[in-house]
Structure 1
Amino acid sequence: MTKELSKLEQQIQKFMPFNEQEEHDKAILLKWFESGSDILTRENEIAHLTASAWVVSPDKKSVLMAYHNIYHSWAWLGGHADGDADLHHVAQKEVMEESGLTHVKFLLDEPFSIEILSVDGHMKKGHYVSTHLHLNVTYLMEADPKDAVQNRPEENSAVAWIRVDQIAEKSTEPWFVEHVYAKLCEKMQVKFRGRLSDLKFSEKGLK
Structure 2
Amino acid sequence: MDKRLLKEFLSNYRTPFEEEKAMIPDFLALLDDPIAFSRDRKEGHFTASAWIVNRRRTHTLLTLHRKLQKWLQLGGHADGNQNLLEVAMDEAREESGLTSLRLVDRFIFDLDRHLIPANATDPQHFHYDVRFLIEAEMDEPLIISPESKDLAWVGFDMTAELVGNNASILRMLEKTSRSEILL
Give the TM-score normalised by the residue count of structure 2: 0.93
- 1:148 aligns to 2:141 (yes or no): yes
Cα pair 2:175 2:181 within 8 Å, conserved: no
Aligned equivalent of 2:53, options 47, 52, 56: 56
Identity %: 26
Equivalent pair of 1:55/1:142 in contact (CA under 8 Å): yes
Structure 1 residue 45: deviation in Å?
Answer: 0.6
Equivalent in the alignment of 1:135? 128
Match of 2:110 in 1: 113
Measure the CA separation in 1 of the matches of 2:15 and 2:180.
18
Q: Where does 1:20-39 land on structure 2 (aligned, <5 Å)?
A: 20-34=18-32, 36-39=33-36
Say which one has the larger Rg. Answer: 1
Match of 1:163 in 2: 155
Structure 1 residue 191, shift from structure 2 partner? 4.4
Aligned-partner residue type, residue 130 of structure 1? P
Equivalents in 2 of 1:193, 1:149: separation in Å? Answer: 25
Secondary structure of 1:147's aligned partner: coil
Which amino acid in the other structure matches residue 78 of structure 2?
Answer: A
CA contact (8 A) 2:59 2:153 kept: yes
Consecutive unaligned residues in structure 1, runs of 5 or more: 196-207
For residue 7 of structure 1, what is the aligned residue in structure 2? 5
Q: Could you list the runs of 5+ residues in structure 2 that have no partner in the other structure?
A: none
Can you list the C-alpha shifts for 1:161-186, whole angstroms capped at 9, x where unaligned?
A: 01111122223x52x2xx21111121
Deviation at 1:11, TM superposition (A): 1.2
TM-score calculated relative to the size of structure 1: 0.83
Select the structure with the greater relative contact order (CA < 8 A; seq sep ≥ 6): 2
Computed over aligned residues only, the root mean square deviation of the Cα atoms, in angstroms, reads 1.8
The more displaced of 70-79 and 185-194 is 185-194
Looking at structure 2, the residues matched to 56 and 71 of structure 1 have their Cα atoms a distance apart, in angstroms, of 22
- 1:107-141 residue CA offsets vs partner (Å, 9 max, x unmatched): 1111101111111112xxxx332110111100001
